[in-house]
Every structure is written in C-alpha cells, then in structure tokens.
Amino acid sequence: MYVYEYGDEILIVDCGMGFPEDDMHGVDILLPDVSYIQKRIQQGAQIAGLVLTHAHDDHIAALPYILPMLTQDFPLYGSPLTAAFAVARMEDMKVHREVLTYPAGRLQLGSFSIETIPVTHSVPDARHLVIRTPAGIVYHGSDFKLDMHPIDGKRTDLQAIARVGQEGILCALLDCLRVERDNWSPSESSVRDNLVREFRDVQGKILVTLMSSNIHRIQQVIDTAVEFGRKVVFVGRSVENNVNVAGELGMLKIPKQTIINKKYINDTADEKLCVVIAGSQGQPGSSLVRAVSGEHPIISITPKKDRVVFASEPIPGNESNVYWAVDTLARNGVEVKYSDVDEGLHVSGHASKIEQQVMISLLGAKYLFPIGGTDRHRVLFGKVAQSMGYAESNVLLPKSGQVMITDGARIIPGETLNLREIIVDGLGVGDVGNIVLAERKQMADEGMLVVVLPSLGAHFDASEIHLVSRGFVFMRESEELMDDLRLLIAETISNARKERKSDEIVRLIEKKVGEFCYKRLQRRPLVVVEGV
Amino acid sequence: MYVYEYGDEILIVDCGMGFPEDDMHGVDILLPDVSYIQKRIQQGAQIAGLVLTHAHDDHIAALPYILPMLTQDFPLYGSPLTAAFAVARMEDMKVHREVLTYPAGRLQLGSFSIETIPVTHSVPDARHLVIRTPAGIVYHGSDFKLDMHPIDGKRTDLQAIARVGQEGILCALLDCLRVERDNWSPSESSVRDNLVREFRDVQGKILVTLMSSNIHRIQQVIDTAVEFGRKVVFVGRSVENNVNVAGELGMLKIPKQTIINKKYINDTADEKLCVVIAGSQGQPGSSLVRAVSGEHPIISITPKKDRVVFASEPIPGNESNVYWAVDTLARNGVEVKYSDVDEGLHVSGHASKIEQQVMISLLGAKYLFPIGGTDRHRVLFGKVAQSMGYAESNVLLPKSGQVMITDGARIIPGETLNLREIIVDGLGVGDVGNIVLAERKQMADEGMLVVVLPSLGAHFDASEIHLVSRGFVFMRESEELMDDLRLLIAETISNARKERKSDEIVRLIEKKVGEFCYKRLQRRPLVVVEGV
C-alpha cells in the first residue's frame, strides 16, 4: 500500500496482503498497518480515493480486511479486470463494496488527477499511474514488463510514457524486482511453443498447473488444447473463479464446446482432456496437491499415461511444497515437467534491468524511487540509475514507513512512522503480536514444560509436583529426567519459600528448570509454572 | 550410508548426516538408522570395514554418533584428505578412532576387494569405489563431476573407469543430482576469472565467503589475493580448521607471508587484506552473519569501502538466511556480489546429464542405480538410461531401506527395512520422535493452552480455573475469551462429573476447548488439562 497526501487529502494506491517469513509460525497472511491513515482521518483528513494498479493478491487482497478499518466513504478504482478481481476477493469475505473502472481520460480525485497507462505483466489489464498534483507529477510504476508480444496484443504504451516524461516528472516509482537480470524478459507468447511440445505424445490426460491469475497463460493452454483436439476442464476454486471473471469480461477467448464442466469429466476419454488445475505452488489442500496425493474427489492421475506440466516456477519459500509434488509424481511413475527441466514453461512478469533502463530513459524523472523489491534489489537499482547519470541523492531508498515530503522541487525525508504489519491468524486479525510469535518460536524449537505445583501452604512431597512435557521430551521415556526435575523444583521451593514472594518463586523455578534442561539436553523449553 | 553384505560380512560405505525438513522443528541434524546393522551383528555378522568416498558432512559427519553404536572393531578407510577431515569431525566430539588411508592397489576387506578411483568434486581427494566381490563387481559412484581443469590437475581417471567397465560391472551406482541440467558442468578453474574481476577496484577489505570444505576454491582465492598484493586472513572455525588440515597434507599452496593470523588483522591496511570467512549459507551464529550484524569481535565491514563476495550458492532451504545477509549488507551500503548478480562466482560440484551419460557409456554396467538425488532426479536418470538402451528393469530405483539381492547375474528386491532417521536435538540423540515433533508443529502453528483445574472433590467456582496461553492468544488482551472458556470448562465438568472417570473428563475438556477455540478463532491450540 502506498499513500499520497496533499494537504488534508489522501490518495491510497493498492491494498495488498503479504506472506509471513519462515519464523512467523502459524501466521496466515500480513496486512498493511493503516494506523497512520486512521490518525489522519481523526485529524480531519479525507480519503479522496483508493486506486488499484493490477489484480495480484499483494496489491488487492487486503481490501476486505482494511476497508472496514477506514471509516470514511471514498471511491475505489481499478481497470476492468482488476476491479472485477477485487470485488470477487471482497465478496469472498462478505464485504460489499463497488470498485469503479477507470474512466477514459483523467480521473480527478480531490487534488489528484490520475491518468492510467496500460502495461504488460503476468496478469492482464495492469496499469501504471500518472498522478498529477499541484506539487508535481508522480509516476507510480508498479509491477510491469515490456512484453513486445503480449497475448492480448496490448503492448505497454511507450509513446504515452515518453509524452508524460516530456511534461516533466518529479518522481518515478518503478518496479525493481528483477534488476539482477540483464536480459530482456521473454515474452509471454514464447511459452506457447513449449506448451505445444508438452502436449505431443501424451497417451492420457494433460494436467497443466499455473498461477490462477495468469489469464494469458490460461488462454495459451486453451489454444494449445484446441490445437490438439483436447477439451479443457478447470479445477480448483481460484482457477474456476478467475476464468469466470475473465470470461465475463471477454478477456478469455474460448471456442464453443471447448470447456467441460469438471463434474462431467468422466464422459470424455482421457486422451481428449486437458485439465487446468490450481496449486502450482504446491499449496497444502490445493486441487493439485490433493490430486497428487490421490485424495481429489474428481481428478485422478494415471501413471505412465497422464502428464503433469508446471507452467510456473516456485515462488521463493514454496520450493519444498512444489518439489514434494514433483517428487511424488515422479516416484509414482507420472511424467512431470517443471521449470528445472524446461525453463520455457514459465516466463517472469517483471522487467529486467534493461527494461527498467528503457523506462528510466523515457520517464526522465528528476527523482527515482525503486519499489517492489527487497533492499538488495533497491540498492542495485540505485546503482543502475547512478550509472545512467543520476546523483545518489536523487534515488530515493526510504525504509517502509518513511514519509517523503516535497515542495514541488526537492524531495526530502520526513518522519518515520512506526508501522507493523497486521498479522492474520485464522479469524484473528491483529491479536497475534511479537510476544505470541516468540512463544510459538520457542515452543517449536525447544518444546514446553508445564510445572503444576501443589498448594505451597502445607508440607508436600516432590512426587506431588506434576510435570507435563509437550514437544520437549517424550514423557514415557524420560522418567529419570522428570524425577530429577521434581527434586530440583522441591529443593528450590523449600530454599526460597521463607524469604520470597510467590511470583519470585515462580520465576526462580522457571530459571532453575531452564538451566537444568539446557545443561542436560541443550534444550531450553518454554517453562510454565502454575498452582503456586 | 550404504551397506553391502556378502554372507556374514558387512561393508559400510560412508556415514553422513542429513538436514531436517522445514516442518521438523528444533531438529539439529539427522543420522542414519543403523538398527539393521546392529541386528546383523547380534546374528553373528562381522563388519569388514567402513570406507569413505569424500569429505563432505553428508558422507562423514555421522561417524562420531554412529561408531559408538556399532559395538565391533573394524577398520575405517578414506583418501588422505577425507581421512583427516573425518578424524577432525570425530575429535570435535571426543571420539578417538583412526581412519587409515587407502593403500596403493587394492584393499581387501573380508570378501570385498576395493579399488578407489580419484574423481573431481567440490572437495578435493574424492574417490569412486570399485568393489569386487565373489558375486560380481559393484561400482560405487558417489558425488562427482568430470572437471577437465581441476585446480590440483588431477582429472577423473576415465581410463581407469573404462578398464573396469571392460571387466564387466554388475551394478553401477551413480550420482544423479544434477540430471536436470544438460550442459557439462563448468570447471572449478572457471571461477578464477570472476574472482579476479571482483578483486579489482576495491578500496577496502575484500571478504570472500564460501563452503569451507571447498579447498580448491580457497586455493583460488589465495592465488587471486597474491595476484592483487593482498594478505589472506581466515575467519571462522570451519574455514580455519579445514585450511589447517588441508595445509598439513600439502593440499593448499600458500606462498610465505601471505597468511595473517586474524588476531593481528589490524596491523595490515584494509586495502591489503582479503578475508576468507565462514558462513556462506547465512548460518545463524556464523562468522559472516556476526560480521554482517556488526557483532563480530574482530571483523567489521566498512560501508562504501569493503566488498563482500559470495563464492557460493544458497543450498535449497537456506535462501532466506543467505538473502537476509545480502539484503542487510546492501541496505548498509556495502557492495555485495552473489550468484544472482554473477553466476560465475560458483560452479556446481556435480555431474550434469551429459557427464552422467559419459560415465554410463564407460562403465557399461548391467544394472544402473542412481544415488544422491531425490525421487525426481532418480526417475529422470532412469529415463536417460532408457534412452541409451537400458531396459526399465535394469535401472534400480529402490526406496531407502529397500534391500537389493544378487546371485551375481540378476538383482532382485528383497525385504524393505523399517528405517527411521535418528534425530539429534541438542544433546539428545534419538529421544525426539514423531509424537514430540507433532506436538512442536501444533504448538508452532496454533499455540498452546494450559488448563489447571481446582480439586474436583469440592464445589468450585469457574474463576478458580487457571488458564495459561502460550503462543495462542495474548492473555492480557483476551480476558473475554478466557472468561468464556472458564465457564465452558466449569459447565463441562458439572455435566460430566457424576458419570465419568477423571481421565474421560480431561479428554472431554480438551475436545470442548479445542472446538470452542476453533469456532471462535479458527485456531486449534494444543490443550493440556492438569489438576483433575
């Protein structure tokens, strides 16, 4: 989420969800922290509108969570496909809100005048935003590539970008994710020949899995299936929903009688079927994973006959899930094709360094602001810009939450907001914080030991101390350890009882038990003492 | 670990450690299950010897754990470097055992006659084993590549391999890990030019991090440092130890006065220093990670002056640690080079498909047995072999623990042993099993709730029920939830007390509390009930 302010007017760009780091155990998704916007609303600011750049979840999927937190009425805008995907995402969570489509020409939202420029990306109908303000023009260059042969024929409008550049841009934000790559990103249409090769000589079904928002790749699979005389079946909630939405907008061209409802899949011979199935990241519970495990109610995969094609690449962090699926298929005798054995089955949706340099040249912005990558990408983008003549001070590398201020001529850093991504875990939004995550991490790595003490008033025997291990040691095989711990705890209590308060005794027991376990096993279980 | 048997004689090849999967929380390393060998010893079998192929941890590092479990006297053999690394690994854990070096000519261990063939790999002095037995010849082709320009000039002996092939090999085991790659693996010596480029124009120190067992790459860093008039400092336990061992064996050529002890690093100007530092996988606590965090007692990294070079690639599973280090360096203004921006800084130590095919051709073995890869690699290797004329039945793809039996002519599957890798967690070896791991996983994902009940004998109030959350919800902000849970538990007890036994009541509370938490938050904490 990006926030632009002019006076008391706020323009929000995108509202996406994030994914947890490896050590954020049990966290489902992350949401942007909107506390600053909430504070500004209380101070009298008005949200002029929320505009969306494209239909990927990291740009739209926080909407159903965040909109109810912003207690103001304001319009939402997106391109036709982005608007439709955003509405579907909200309806999933029973949030009913209209998303308008960008008008032809400029969209005036308060002091912000917004022109959108169609760009190519791995989801159709993506836009860059030209945001004209009284303080100058900002070019909001979200995720893009410069695909010269997009499936819908709609190339990124370089003429329009050059025209805006000639007007004079104060600051251009630009997708820097693939700045490490030198070569121009291959066109989406280059995938077709590789799909064709995979469709040859398959005795049974062809199952293709891919990112469900990649409507153009789905189009290419459909076209290839038609070429080979196969019918197409869509399987998996995300694929089915996205195909419906894109189909209604006329963004998928499907010849009549090509599609078979998955319920009637058995009416067609396997060698006449192409199954487009969700789960290309090996997500647990996805249609593909259930089919691979033999647990899908409709889709079975036949060894030595069917072929599974991953027209996708593992997103960093998903490797073990994806390779679990590939290994399982291979072990079961199913032919499986994936990016390590055939790179041509996937192309990136992001501009490489040379495409970014073309954009930098056309925009001629005074300031550049790399977005969409991690720090190593942003720093490298800065070096690329410097190699093209930019001063170091004219490449902005603010931290998340860092406010940037302009008087129309210069851009300088303002305050740094103390922002924390909001954690979603199950139905809880924001109730899991750092303390709970730290407890989960300790219990994951070291386990837990619960100590239940008898009443301390009376004399008691060590055997009355209850110990419960979970994830620390296997109780039934650790009786000696447990006996030693009971004696240690009893001794600790009788030494400390007279002089100390009960909460001090609890802390002392936690400390002694922790030290003992570490000395004995080099493990530090979370210790909970109760009953004092 | 591979085990060969002839009659009552056992030959063990390698004794390596494994790394835990993502969901094996808190597990340090995995060891091979040797229960079958222990059983065979009890039945009167004799271990003829244990022979090592090369010095990587996944082939030697379980020795200090496993040798004490094998209560027999038998000799250990390795090449000079492998033997020295293995001894060092054992001494680290106070296990004192000699590892002999392979004799010239053949080594007779019981009925097994072993010839070793030098091969190239990412650690020097690696060997393939020709194991001659009364039942035929087995070629044990562990990790290798066919490097035509190895740093020590010792190419894989293709003549020797062809000669063995002419004798007639019953079964060849062969490293299949990189079967997905078509191109001949680049030579280790190709790294040199890229190192030279990275040494140019550096104002301050150059820090190179790499796999500490890659002695040949360390040699190339030393050579490059000498070329640029820089002294070399070794930092990090694994690098320092391995350099010492390799140096004593004459396997590192270091010109006099090139090496500086790290204690005296401040006596030399930064622009005259090259630091070879351990931690290329971003391991927490490694020298590199401490230096990156500014926490290393000796090594500091100066922004805008020093350069950090990763002459390595992230091993799958280590990406987030490695990129944390890269991102942190980039953010701090330190120039950092790594495989995504310069692929030439690392080459694989494994044969690609075409090298494997050369080996298959030279060996001409009756049976092939791919090793060293996961299932997808083994299956793909099998297809490559079939494309070269092998019958499907002559490519062996047994599961781990599957015994293969031969009469000297055919190889057929025998029993499948029920093997489980032994888990090492801290000082505990084998005490953490599936139950403890399952508890850790649940507590990691969902947290835990401890319910401490007052004595059930007397009447009690719901407020006397103690609840402790760890990793489930943040107690202080969840009072309403806790109150509701106390009422639910009190109600459950009063409804059930008369008819049920106390352990049934405990199970009922666990169930009710679990259901309640799931309904309210879609989380299923591990519930522990105590005090009944």
Marked catalytic residue, from B14, B175, B306, B425? B175
Nearest Cα of chain B lies from the Cα of A309 at a distance, in angstroms, of 14
Q: Please report residues of A whose CB lies closer than 8 A to that of B445.
A: 25-26, 440
Mean pLDDT confidence for B353-382: 98
Residue A184 DSSP label: P
A177 vs B335: CA distance, rounded Å: 18
Q: Please report residues of B whose CB lies closer than 8 A to that of A428.
A: 473, 521-523
Average pLDDT along chain B: 95
Confidence of residue A37 (pLDDT cuts 50, 70, 90): very high
- Give Cα separations from B210 to A212, B234, B287, B311 (angstroms): 39, 12, 12, 5
Q: Where are the beta strands (DSSP E) in A46-191?
A: 46-51, 76-78, 100-101, 107-109, 112-119, 126-133, 136-141, 171-175
Token pair 């799931």 is found at: B518
Global pTM reads: 0.92
- Give Cα separations from A212 to A228, A258, A286 (angstroms): 22, 19, 12
From A151-155, A430-434, B455-459, the region with the lowest mean pLDDT:
B455-459
- Percent of chain B residues topping a pLDDT of 90: 90
For residue B458, the model assigns a pLDDT of 62
Q: Find the residue in A nearest to B469 (Cα).
A: A436
Chain segment B298-332, per-residue pLDDT in tens: 999 999 999 999 999 999 889 999 999 999 999 99
Mean pLDDT confidence for A47-63: 98
pLDDT at B456 exceeding the cut of 70: no
From A67-81, A89-103, A496-510, B188-202, the region with the lowest mean pLDDT:
A496-510
- Please list, in sequence order, all residues whose beta carbon lies within 8 angstroms of the beta carbon of residue B261, skipping any fewer than 6 positions away: B233
For residue B160, the model assigns a pLDDT of 96
Q: Which of B348, B439, B467, B517 has the most A C-beta neighbours within 10 Å, making it the best mutation to test the interface with A? A: B439
Secondary-structure class of domain B2-183+348-425 per CATH: alpha beta
Q: Which residues of B278-311 are buried (b: 16+ CB within 10 A; e: fewer)?
A: bbbbbbeebbbbbbbeeebeebebeeeebbbbbb
pLDDT at B55 exceeding the cut of 70: yes
B324 vs B326: CA distance, rounded Å: 6
pLDDT at A8 exceeding the cut of 80: yes
CA angle, B514 then B517 then B519, to 5°: 105
Cβ contact, residue pair A431, B478, below 8 Å: yes
**For chain B, give me the number of helices (H) and strands (E)?**
15, 24
For residue B457, the model assigns a pLDDT of 64
Q: Nearest by CB to B447, which of A330, A379, A436? A: A436
Mean pLDDT confidence for B485-508: 87
Nearest C-alpha neighbor of B12 from the set B42, B46, B39, B44: B46
A531 vs A90: CA distance, rounded Å: 47
Chain segment A112-162, per-residue pLDDT in tens: 999 999 999 999 999 999 999 999 999 999 999 999 999 999 999 999 999
- DSSP code per residue over B283-338: -TTSHHHHHHTT--SS----TTT-EEEE-S-PPTT-HHHHHHHHHHHHHTT-EEE-
pLDDT at A457 exceeding the cut of 80: no
pLDDT at A233 exceeding the cut of 70: yes
Secondary-structure class of domain B188-345 per CATH: alpha beta
Chain segment B77-109, per-residue pLDDT in tens: 999 999 999 999 999 999 999 999 999 999 999
How many other CB atoms sit within 10 Å of the CB of residue B244?
14
CB-based contact, A196 to chain B, within 8 Å: no
Mean pLDDT confidence for B502-525: 92
For residue B210, the model assigns a pLDDT of 98
**How many CB pairs lie under 8 A apart between chains A and B?**
188
A126 vs A149: CA distance, rounded Å: 15
- Catalytic residue status for B484: no
Confidence of residue A2 (pLDDT cuts 50, 70, 90): very high
CA angle, A432 then A437 then A442, to 5°: 150
The domains of chain A are located at 2-183+348-425, 188-345, 447-530
A117 vs A131: CA distance, rounded Å: 11
Nearest Cα of chain B lies from the Cα of A205 at a distance, in angstroms, of 20
- Catalytic residue status for B175: yes
For residue A497, the model assigns a pLDDT of 77
- Percent of chain B residues topping a pLDDT of 70: 99
Q: Nearest by CB to A444, which of B317, B433, B443? A: B443
SS3 assignment, position B235: strand
B371 vs B361: CA distance, rounded Å: 17
CB-based contact, B444 to chain A, within 8 Å: yes
For residue B494, the model assigns a pLDDT of 87
pLDDT at A292 exceeding the cut of 60: yes
Nearest Cα of chain B lies from the Cα of A468 at a distance, in angstroms, of 8
For residue A294, the model assigns a pLDDT of 96
- Give Cα separations from A189 to A147, A312, A356, B15 (angstroms): 9, 14, 20, 49
Residue type for A67, please?
L
Q: Where are the beta strands (DSSP E) in B354-502?
A: 367-371, 402-406, 411-416, 422-425, 428-429, 448-452, 466-470
Q: Please report residues of B whose CB lies closer than 8 A to that of A93.
A: none
Q: Please report residues of B whose CB lies closer than 8 A to that of A329.
A: 376
ipTM at complex level: 0.90
User: Contact, A19 vs A65, CB < 8 A?
Assistant: no
pLDDT at B343 exceeding the cut of 60: yes
Nearest Cα of chain B lies from the Cα of A68 at a distance, in angstroms, of 19
Assign residue A237 a region (left: φ > 0; alpha: ψ between -120 and 50; beta: otherwise).
alpha
Q: Which residue(s) pair with A309 in the sheet? A: A208, A337
How many other CB atoms sit within 10 Å of the CB of residue A414?
12
Confidence of residue B22 (pLDDT cuts 50, 70, 90): confident
Q: Annotated catalytic sites of A, by residue?
A: 175, 350
For residue B376, the model assigns a pLDDT of 97
For residue B37, the model assigns a pLDDT of 98
Q: Kindly state the tokens that stand for A176.
A: 């820097």
**Total length of chain B:** 532
For residue A509, the model assigns a pLDDT of 93
- For chain A, how big is the Rg over CA atoms in Å? 28
Nearest Cα of chain B lies from the Cα of A259 at a distance, in angstroms, of 32
SS3 assignment, position A332: coil
Q: Kindly state the tokens that stand for A496.
A: 């400390």
pLDDT at A532 exceeding the cut of 60: no
Q: Nearest by CB to A452, which of B426, B440, B531? A: B531
SS3 assignment, position B384: helix
Confidence of residue A463 (pLDDT cuts 50, 70, 90): confident
- Give Cα separations from B160 to A522, B25, B123, B175, B366 (angstroms): 49, 46, 21, 18, 18
Q: Please report residues of B whose CB lies closer than 8 A to that of A384.
A: none
For residue B463, the model assigns a pLDDT of 86
Mean pLDDT confidence for B124-140: 98
User: Contact, A119 vs A174, CB < 8 A?
Assistant: no
Question: In terms of CATH architecture, what is B447-530?
Answer: Roll (3.10)
Window 12-41 of A: residues touching B by CB (8 A cutoff) are: 21-22, 25-26
A387 vs B111: CA distance, rounded Å: 68
Cβ contact, residue pair B445, A317, below 8 Å: no
Q: Kindly state the tokens that stand for A385.
A: 């810009």
Confidence of residue A458 (pLDDT cuts 50, 70, 90): low
- Give Cα separations from A183 to A360, A364, A397, B254 (angstroms): 16, 22, 24, 40
For residue A477, the model assigns a pLDDT of 84
Chain segment A72-97, per-residue pLDDT in tens: 999 999 999 999 999 999 999 999 99
For residue B32, the model assigns a pLDDT of 97
For residue B532, the model assigns a pLDDT of 54
Chain segment A391-419, per-residue pLDDT in tens: 999 999 998 899 999 999 999 999 999 99
The edge-to-edge listing of strands for the beta sheet with A9-13 is: A2-6, A9-13, A46-51, A76-78, A100-101
Q: Please report residues of B whose CB lies closer than 8 A to that of A466.
A: 530-531
A78 vs A84: CA distance, rounded Å: 8
User: Contact, A241 vs A88, CB < 8 A?
Assistant: yes
